[in-house]
Structure 1
Amino acid sequence: MPRKKDVIIGHFSKYDAVVVGAGPAGEGAAMKLSKSGKTVAVVDLREQLGGNCTHVGTIPSKALRQTVSSIIRCQRDPLLQKIGDWKKFTMNQVLTHAHRVIQTQVATHTRFYDRNHIDVFCGRAYVKDQHHIEVFTPEGIKRQIQFDELVIATGSRPYRPQNLDFSHPRVFDSDTILNLDYSIRKIIIYGAGVIGCEYASIFIGLNHKVDLINTQTKLLSYLDAEISDALSYHLREQGVLIRHDEQIDGLDTHDDHVVLHLKSGKKIKADAILWCNGRSGNTDGLGLDNVGLTPNSRGQVMVNERYQTEVPHIYAAGDVVGWPSLASAAYDQGRCAGSNMSGEENVKPVTDIPTGIYTIPEISCFGKTEQQLTEEKIPYEVGQSSFRHLARAQITGDTVGELKLLFHRDTLEILGIHCFGNNASEIIHIGQAIMQSQNNSLRYFVEATFNYPTMAEAYRVAALNGLNRLF
């Protein structure tokens, strides 16, 4: 389909669609719209593309995790233990590799936009009315853009309670922790969700003392109970002190330490605190009230299964709409929004999403848990494979973890896959592909031949283990 030519009228620029936000959701929407023949503009606060995912979220934190994993592996190998005084590294030093990855990602995303003839505007976006958006550039220039349709993909940011002073050099959130530029021995992590657990495993891997404050009764309670318990056990074994059912009462900040006061009466002293308790959608100051949209109390925009807001020509995708707040899902949500805006029919919303949690080691799940199957009275059985029995895990030294398959006793249909261990986020996709195929059966893993030694062999071991439980 031929592309329409941009219409420039005085200080106005007109586009078929404007996308606010250049993260995964915004990129997914912009690419789909452009390939459908639409003229597209993207507005983003940063001068470099990629959004929060690239600059302060997924990419730097996972690059940091990889560096820490390498350090742990070296310390585990007697031949590689002498790698210098790594215990005195600051976050900035450990993030050297991450900074290189970020710049490579920025260059990659920039090429994507250039190849698809998508115009990028750097500045703060403000929705003026139903078909106009204003962009305030860092140089103080205001530019007005006219659009037929709009996509809100502004992402989210860490929630900051007003009673904490985040300007203090020892108080961090998950965005600012990447700027830690001094050595620490002990850190408090408040909030034991995905981000809190990931950073707990990173800091304990750097040989710091970690107090992980969980406001709930157990870690990541939505996971299969056995996987959640395995994570708790592993973190404790590494040295993380997990405190469940706790609530903050106050925080004292000092030049060289902080003291966290809990409502239970406990006082915890540390070199710094990392706040990881909740996120808020980036809708402040966006002007959505000018078009009749009111975000909820967490700054999120409500959408239907088409990713369409209450205003028919305005769509939203990614973290700004809430669940599941994953970069992988955000990109697909953006593409779905773009597909619906382009008039495609029977566009499937993003629902079947694997969980990827980048603790050390990783957790990844797809499908239902044992708890769900029990509540639904579905006759299921379990097949398990412990990584410590796999030759590949023994070779690499990554023997912590397991693969767990849940399947129907009668039909052998795979109902859930739960993996805890190194490369779990990669391993999960083998089972996901079989579960979503027309021949979903545990027998696939028994009848297929797997390379040896591999971690994928865990599927064959788990399947045989499960079949042996049947009678």
Structure 2
Amino acid sequence: MLQYDLVVVGSGPAGRRGAIQAAKLGKKVLVIEQGKRVGGVSVHTGTIPSKTLRETALNLSGWRERGFYGRSYRVKEEISADDLRRRLLITLNHEVEVLEHQFARNRVQHIRGKASFINASTLQVIKDDGETTQVTAASVLLAVGTKPFRPNYMPFDGKSVLDSDELLDIQDLPRSMVVIGAGVIGIEYATIFSALDTAVTVIDPKATMLDFIDKEIIEDFTYQLRDRNMKLLLGQKADKVERLENGKVELTLDSGRRLTTDMVLFAAGRMGATDALNLQAIGLEADSRGRLKVNPETFQTSVANIYAAGDVVGFPSLASTSMEQGRIAARVAVGAVAKEPPKYFPYGIYAVPEISTCGLTEEEMKERGIPYECGIARFRETSRGHIMGLDTGLLKLIFSLKTRRLLGVHIVGEGATELVHIGQAVLNLKGTVEYFVENTFNYPTLAEAYKIAGLDAWNRMGDIKSEL
């Protein structure tokens, strides 16, 4: 029987970062991955594929140049599913090669197969060829990720009614699409296909979307979606979804409205991929969505030597936070000191346009009773924005009136997920409005929007420096 200091189940962001961290500490580490190649959901069906699809769609459609050349501008007149898939395969192969090299360089062993618990220290692994082996570990890190939620009432067929994993294998681009679910995944794919000139309708039972984002940012985002004729049917539920003989799909909403479309994407949630782990053998229980409860500081489960990290533990379910969770969990699991991460981390929503945010929203400032002031900059106010042909894009900074510290940065528009890191650094280093007013930013850049927004807030707050 093979013995290890740490066995990691899953090779997504949390699994690979945790495995490499433990290996760097001189521990014997094994990664078990049930997929055909390492990388997990993030590399093969989630983060990397969706972002690659987005970039390909924007490039081939000429989306970024339409501010200059008009909405009819195209780089490639006829864009096919094969065009999208070609770049996707190149990117995925590169990601896998990099990860395999990282494992080899750090002496991390990995095998393919399905893992399940025999007891808290022993796992059984069934390989693709049916061979069974057992491994023992001082500690186990569960980083199994999630899979799409597939309710029984949805007539999934992989062609006209799909989940978000199946969407990557479509043979033809639909002329029309209905997306059920206005969460991050649903909105990302809805806006990507809209950029490809697919007529997109989004349905969600909730009357609002992306509630963890600052409302002013969502209002601007919503305006941009409706301006390009996307339909947002919020506060409505699809009671019935039926495939028609002509290949189309008919949806009946609880409002009585009927929709006919070429394709339905069901993106209303994901489930923790824990059902095959035999958790009952170790006295561990997942919730109704297959997620595991952990100590938020150590990522230890109720079983002392079992840890869990990444999407399987729930919110925020970001690749970036999953990596850090996996690293912390691995350090604790092998007895190393793990420092608490900075309080604020960025969210990135790779929609078209991008949204990124870090820190407190204006709504949270009001709830906490913190006196505040906001500064706003629009990308069209920057010279770089003019050069790029941008007529949309917004950066919002929120400052405490008492301490003048930056407490929130919120961006919608081109490059938002890159730009947010300037605000993140200032926020975590407890910088004030004076940082933006007194510092020089490269010209012309979109980052100059920080200075514009800082001056906007400073003008409202007055020239009185904080004592802190």
Q: What's the TM-score, normalizing by structure 1?
A: 0.94
Superposed CA deviations along residues 270-309 of structure 1, whole A, max 9, x for unmatched, are: 0010001011100011111100000000000110021000
Does residue 466 (structure 1) correspond to residue 452 (structure 2)? The answer is no
Counterpart pick for 1:302 among 274, 284, 293: 293
Letter in 2 for 1:29: G
Q: 1:92 to 1:125 in 2, by over 3 A?
A: farther
Does residue 401 (structure 1) correspond to residue 400 (structure 2)? The answer is no
Does residue 66 (structure 1) correspond to residue 58 (structure 2)? The answer is no
Residue 207 of structure 1 corresponds to which residue in structure 2? 197
Distance in 1, matches of 2:317 and 2:219, equals 23
Q: What's the TM-score, normalizing by structure 2?
A: 0.95
Q: CA deviation at 1:168?
A: 4.8
Counterpart pick for 1:269 among 257, 260, 266: 260
Does residue 115 (structure 1) correspond to residue 105 (structure 2)? The answer is yes
Does residue 342 (structure 1) correspond to residue 342 (structure 2)? The answer is no
Does residue 142 (structure 1) correspond to residue 119 (structure 2)? The answer is no
Does residue 30 (structure 1) correspond to residue 22 (structure 2)? The answer is no
Residue 311 of structure 2 corresponds to which residue in structure 1? 319
Does residue 53 (structure 1) correspond to residue 36 (structure 2)? The answer is no
Q: 1:346 to 1:334 in 2, by over 3 A?
A: closer
Counterpart pick for 2:374 among 374, 382, 389: 382
Distance in 1, matches of 2:271 and 2:243, equals 25
Does residue 130 (structure 1) correspond to residue 120 (structure 2)? The answer is yes
Letter in 1 for 2:392: V
Does residue 252 (structure 1) correspond to residue 220 (structure 2)? The answer is no
Distance in 1, matches of 2:182 and 2:80, equals 23
Tell me if structure 1 keeps the 8 A contact 2:158–2:166: no
Q: Over the residues paired in the alignment, what is the CA RMSD in angstroms?
A: 1.5
**Which of 256-265 and 18-27 deviates more?**
256-265
Residue 95 of structure 1 corresponds to which residue in structure 2? 85
Q: 1:426 to 1:84 in 2, by over 3 A?
A: closer
Superposed CA deviations along residues 108-141 of structure 1, whole A, max 9, x for unmatched, are: 0000000111111101111111211111111111
Superposed CA deviations along residues 239-263 of structure 1, whole A, max 9, x for unmatched, are: 1100011112111112410011111
Does residue 282 (structure 1) correspond to residue 259 (structure 2)? The answer is no
**Which of 202-211 and 92-101 deviates more?**
92-101
Residue 405 of structure 2 corresponds to which residue in structure 1? 413
Per the alignment, in what secondary structure is the counterpart of residue 461 of structure 2? coil
Residue 456 of structure 1 corresponds to which residue in structure 2? 447
Q: CA deviation at 1:146?
A: 1.2
Runs (5+) with no aligned partner, structure 1 = 1-11
Distance in 2, matches of 1:446 and 1:415, equals 16
Tell me if structure 2 keeps the 8 A contact 1:392–1:455: yes
Superposed CA deviations along residues 382-426 of structure 1, whole A, max 9, x for unmatched, are: 111011111101111233111100001232111111111101011
Per the alignment, in what secondary structure is the counterpart of residue 242 of structure 2? strand
Runs (5+) with no aligned partner, structure 2 = 463-468
Letter in 1 for 2:203: I
Q: CA deviation at 1:82?
A: 5.5
Aligned residues: 457
Letter in 2 for 1:27: R
Tell me if structure 2 keeps the 8 A contact 1:332–1:350: no
Residue 362 of structure 2 corresponds to which residue in structure 1? 370
Residue 178 of structure 1 corresponds to which residue in structure 2? 168
Does residue 44 (structure 1) correspond to residue 36 (structure 2)? The answer is no
Please give the residue correspondences for 1:213-252 in structure 2 after superposition, counting only pairs within 5 Å. 213-252=203-242
Q: 1:371 to 1:198 in 2, by over 3 A?
A: same
Distance in 1, matches of 2:189 and 2:414, equals 16
Tell me if structure 1 keeps the 8 A contact 2:331–2:338: no
Residue 330 of structure 1 corresponds to which residue in structure 2? 322
Q: 1:444 to 1:34 in 2, by over 3 A?
A: same
Q: CA deviation at 1:156?
A: 0.5
Tell me if structure 1 keeps the 8 A contact 2:141–2:306: yes
Q: Hey, which bits of structure 1, 4+ residues long, moved more than 4 A?
A: 74-77
Letter in 1 for 2:142: I
Q: 1:350 to 1:406 in 2, by over 3 A?
A: closer
Q: CA deviation at 1:75?
A: 4.6
Does residue 355 (structure 1) correspond to residue 347 (structure 2)? The answer is yes
Superposed CA deviations along residues 77-119 of structure 1, whole A, max 9, x for unmatched, are: 5399453423xx3334223212111100000000000011111
Tell me if structure 2 keeps the 8 A contact 1:417–1:431: yes
Tell me if structure 2 keeps the 8 A contact 1:56–1:175: yes
Letter in 2 for 1:130: A
Distance in 1, matches of 2:288 and 2:159, equals 29
Does residue 105 (structure 1) correspond to residue 95 (structure 2)? The answer is yes
Does residue 424 (structure 1) correspond to residue 413 (structure 2)? The answer is no
Q: 1:315 to 1:360 in 2, by over 3 A?
A: same
Per the alignment, in what secondary structure is the counterpart of residue 442 of structure 2? coil
Distance in 1, matches of 2:68 and 2:127, equals 52
Tell me if structure 1 keeps the 8 A contact 2:176–2:263: yes
Tell me if structure 2 keeps the 8 A contact 1:155–1:318: yes
Q: 1:200 to 1:312 in 2, by over 3 A?
A: same
Q: 1:350 to 1:336 in 2, by over 3 A?
A: farther
Distance in 2, matches of 1:176 and 1:191, equals 16
Q: CA deviation at 1:340?
A: 0.8
Residue 7 of structure 1 corresponds to which residue in structure 2? none
Distance in 1, matches of 2:253 and 2:282, equals 43
Letter in 2 for 1:197: I
Distance in 2, matches of 1:236 and 1:381, equals 29
Q: CA deviation at 1:358?
A: 0.6
Q: 1:207 to 1:228 in 2, by over 3 A?
A: same
Does residue 436 (structure 1) correspond to residue 428 (structure 2)? The answer is yes
